[in-house]
Amino acid sequence: MPTEVILPKVDMDMATGQISRWFAEEGAKVKKGDVLFEIETDKAAMEIDAPASGTLRNVTGKERVDIPVGEPVAWIYADDEVYAPISPLRGEMRAKPTEGGAVPPTSQSVAPPSGLPAISPTRGEISQSQGPARATPLARRLAREANLDLSAIAGSGPRGRVVRADVEAAAAAKDAAASAQPAAEIPAGAPSAPAPAPKPMSDDQVLKLFAEGSYELAPHDNMRKTIARRLVEAKSTIPHFYLTLDCELDALLALRTQLNAAAPMRKTDKGEAPAYKLSVNDMVIKAMAMALMAVPDANASWTDSAMVKHKHADVGVAVSIPGGLITPIIRHADEKTLSVISNEMKDLASRARSRKLKPEEYQGGTTAVSNLGMFGIKDFAAVINPPHATILAVGAGEERAVVKKGEIRIATVMSVTLSTDHRAVDGALGAELLGAFKRMIENPMGMLV
């Protein structure tokens, strides 16, 4: 039996993926472990190896097309197996998804490669009823927002898959049934249903506001779609609370200069270079990690059933990359030296920009730091990235007039804003955490012991 090559799930939140390029063509001889294709997710690009040796056939996964996780994209035939071409219809279905990632329904049976059973739409629907509802990611989201049971919706997609049109039809039927309910059936004094959340403007509504020919459309890639979805979820589901204070940086800048000057030299391909070069952001990461350990109740994540109390400070750091951003994580930052944090951060940022991070290098974490100081931003408030309960927004260090003991003097001051999940971190607790961070920044020698 030929070996099926599927689009694997390489990210916790991944529902669909795109093949950015194939390294092997139809009919090519491949060995187990050879790189077959590269997947582009919302956060990284990953190379996928061949699961078996043989001849690559029936390459149905097209480049730059959204493909559901688990869908076959090709088959590998052993040398002694008879090759059976797929139905042209199947290739067309794979290559031309409709809106929402669905595939146009068909009444014909789909002919898989030789040695595999044929699946008709009827059989697909029968097997679908025996397990979780099959649906496109868009259909699942729409059903969740409309509070609809996916298993009760008849799918019109391939093998009974529920698509966007099915959910919209079910939602319309539900609204019609609700509006047709006689007033007599509603008990007197019953509380009115909460108003539905406002819906964003549709694409057509937005485009009608601009003259034709005055714009061009740049389709969203997976990264931008995921960023938009997660930001809306974060701001809609997490009660944000903000705390801002100023930190004096003069002692930290002096220590940084002294430590960088003392860095030993090492040989590299480009000649001798210092073993490390600390940045202010490296010291901010360390200070945030130590502040979390000093205020352990703030080193937490919210779940509906319990508060997750973390034993270490894993600090995510927002890194801007083409088309979006990603948050690689410095694990156990509270236990690492400044030089280790600095070198690790440079490596993670470099691989993040080339989309070569592994999922475990950007998933999870207990807090995050977002620094826009290098762009001259004085202060801002960042959006919390679940499952974190806090994120620190760091502004630029600038000379300001400060008053000490009745005298005015010049100091280098940095404004920071802590965004907290008010379910997990209350105002007083957040203030305690930010105060601990300020002490670390203004007394940086404490980060060396």
Residue with tokens 């965004």: 419
Angle at the Cα of 370 (from 287 to 344), degrees rounded to 5?
65
β-sheet bridge partners, residue 317 = 369
Nearest alpha-carbon partner for 397 in 436, 371, 418: 371
Tell me the longest C-alpha to C-alpha distance in the chain. 90
Tell me which of 240, 312, 332, 422 is the catalytic residue.
422
Catalytic: 310? no
β-sheet bridge partners, residue 56 = 76
> Cα(103)–Cα(166) distance, rounded to whole angstroms?
13
β-sheet bridge partners, residue 49 = 35
3-state SS, one letter per residue, for 292-330 = HHHCHHHCEEECCCCEEECCCCCEEECEEECCEEECCEE
Q: Which amino acid is at 237?
A: T
Q: Tally the residues of the chain.
A: 449
Do the Cβ atoms of 201 and 345 come closer than 8 Å?
no
Cis peptide bond N-terminal to 387, omega within 30: yes
- Helix axes 250-261 and 427-442, enclosed angle (nearest 10): 50
Catalytic positions are 422
